[in-house]
Chain A
């Protein structure tokens, strides 16, 4: 079976040009001459109008993604580490925290602790290696002006205090050394805040992120809080959905290419079923749910008590995990 040219990502003009000249398959463009593949001279001429190096261009078009067996995948997954949440039962529930290279969604009603969770993760991703952290940086894409520096510095201060206590008590030289560069100020410096008020801003920032991340190799976390907000202004539902897919595809590429964790927050919407009571489910529909890897639903029980339920998690069945949001951030629920 020959591979038709139309299943290559060619510019439309180029593919119609080639088609006019009778090129239909890859084998028409690249001919096997005595066991050596060479570009057809006419095709080469056409390709040259699009690229100075037609041969390399052609090879890149046909490049096959590499395979890797599950064993080395496992090793990589273990090497990558995760972003802890500071609440042990949540971490256990999430297999050690928010995973890198994946898209994790937190959804919940207003005031259910989504933004708190994001801020906490922005701090936690920076914990020095000496404390088994990732020592990374974070990008906070803020779409509904929910980012508050004062809250972030509160959480940061609590984290620094906690770490320095650990270092002092353990008299660990590495930890003490690491604490010299780990302060509230350094934490605030290592969170990059992007404000995006419209969907155009958001799309542009996501595309720009690729460039940004190739310069800032230390970034391990990208937060988008929230992904729903800028999309609400688009009336045309088809346009909205296709924009959302584009966003997700870009985020997925970024996540795997730069080894970062992507965290998005989502709102809830009402689902009405005949014969049943209406229930609240994450917004943006079934196919959005399909394109995130992990989905957690957050809810507020009372003043400072919250719960987390898995809506979609490969590894665990759905159980409810309680957690607390205190002044210092997300914490384990204390049993009297």
Chain B
């Protein structure tokens, strides 16, 4: 790859520029989950059971990420950063994103401001949506080629600092059929992440990916180091409380500590319960 860049005169100039330039910071993405903030080049895994809110959590991150910090002097509290979502599971819904954004704006207190009417909210949201790039992938080959294309997207949009892959396991089964290569789920996951990292590591964007709970090899080794480009720095495991209607637990672990939070799912996203349990 390095030799390629040295030959691609024009492109590496662009890349140099993006390397020098700071992308918007994601430090404030979510103060509950990421106490110390989400750093560039970090990889975050969200795993969980069916309907535990994986896609919803991602959507919520995107909403905060895309919304502007302020609008005409009114504080909104977004991060004003761009994002890319590679949608392989097709559970992500733009309409849901808009609903969450509306709720977010309403919570930020703008709605009480007489200057902000429904039309303004809509235009804020539309502007924010312009920061989002959606890539729909329908098979494994397309996904790999799309990874190759990310370089171009990221160097053209210097605003993008978050990349979401929902979900990482979508094409695993086809892959087992297509080539007799990788059958172990952990290895497949590693392979996908490495090939993703290969193309984007120099752009210093953060990666969040989702995977279903079942998606791990039977003999699971806990080493989440993925090659030379970095490692999974955080894992968020979502779980539904048995026999409950709307009560879930999130196990969040990063390098230094673990914590367990409980939450409910509402129309506008996650509602964290204040009571926290430290381990």
Residues in B neighbouring A19, C-beta threshold 8 A: 178-179
| Nearest chain B CB to A12 CB, angstrom units | 11
B254 part of interface (Cβ distance < 8 Å): no
Size bracket, chain A contacts: under 10
Q: Are B138 and A6 in contact (CB under 8 A)?
A: no
For the complex, give the distance between the alpha carbons of A4 and B177 in Å: 11
- Would you give the shortest CB distance from B174 to chain A, in whole angstroms? 7
Whether a CB of chain A sits under 8 angstroms from the CB of B274 is no
Q: Is the CB of A6 within 8 A of B177?
A: yes
A13 to chain B, nearest CB (A): 13
Question: How large, as a class, is the contact surface on chain B?
Answer: under 10
Pairwise interchain contact B138-A24, C-beta atoms closer than 8 A: no
A1 to B136: give the CA distance in the assembly, Å.
11
| Other-chain contact of B174, A1, A2, A4 (Cβ < 8 Å) | A4
- Residue A1 contacts which of B138, B178, B179 (CB distance < 8 angstroms)? B138
- The reply to whether A4 and B178 form a contact with Cβ atoms under 8 Å apart is yes
- Could you tell me the distance between the alpha carbons of A2 and B174 in the complex, rounded to whole angstroms? 14
B141 located at the interface, meaning its Cβ lies under 8 Å from any Cβ of chain A in the complex: yes
Contacts of B177 in A (CB 8 A): 6
Give the chain B neighbours of A2 by CB distance below 8 A: 139
Please report which residues of chain B, range 157-203, place their CB below 8 angstroms from some CB of chain A when the two chains form the complex. Answer: 174, 177-179
Determine if B141 and A24 form an interchain contact, defined as CB atoms under 8 angstroms apart: yes
Which residues from chain B contact A1 at a C-beta distance below 8 Å?
138-139
Instruction: Report the minimum CB–CB distance from A93 to chain B (whole Å).
Output: 41
Taking a contact as CB atoms under 8 Å apart, the answer to whether B139 and A4 are in contact is: yes
Q: Tell me, rounded to whole Å, the shortest Cβ–Cβ distance linking A18 to chain B.
A: 11
A90 to B139, CA, bound (A): 53
CB-CB under 8 A from B179, the residues of chain A are 19
The closest CB in chain B to the CB of A2 belongs to B139
A4 to B179, CA, bound (A): 13
A14 to B169 alpha-carbon distance, docked (Å): 28
0/1 interface trace, chain A 1-27, chain B, CB 8 Å (1 if under): 110101000000000000100001000
In the bound complex, residues from chain A placing their C-beta under 8 Å from that of B141 are 24
The interface bits of chain B over 17-35 (1 if a CB of A lies within 8 angstroms of the residue's CB, else 0) are: 0000000000000000000
Inter-chain contacts of B174 with A (CB < 8 A): 4, 6
Shortest CB-to-CB span from A139 to chain B, Å, is 39
Interfacial residues of chain B within 119-133, with CB under 8 A of chain A in the complex: none
Q: Which residue of B lies closest to A24 (CB)?
A: B141
A16's nearest neighbour on chain B, judged by CB, is B180
Query: Hey, which bits of chain B sit against chain A, CB under 8 A?
Result: 138-139, 141, 174, 177-179
Could you jot down 13 A-B contacts, CB within 8 Å? A1-B138, A1-B139, A2-B139, A4-B139, A4-B174, A4-B178, A6-B174, A6-B177, A6-B178, A19-B178, A19-B179, A24-B141, A24-B178
Q: What are the 8 closest A-B residue pairs judged by CB atoms, nearest first?
A: A6-B177, A1-B138, A6-B178, A24-B141, A4-B139, A19-B178, A4-B174, A24-B178
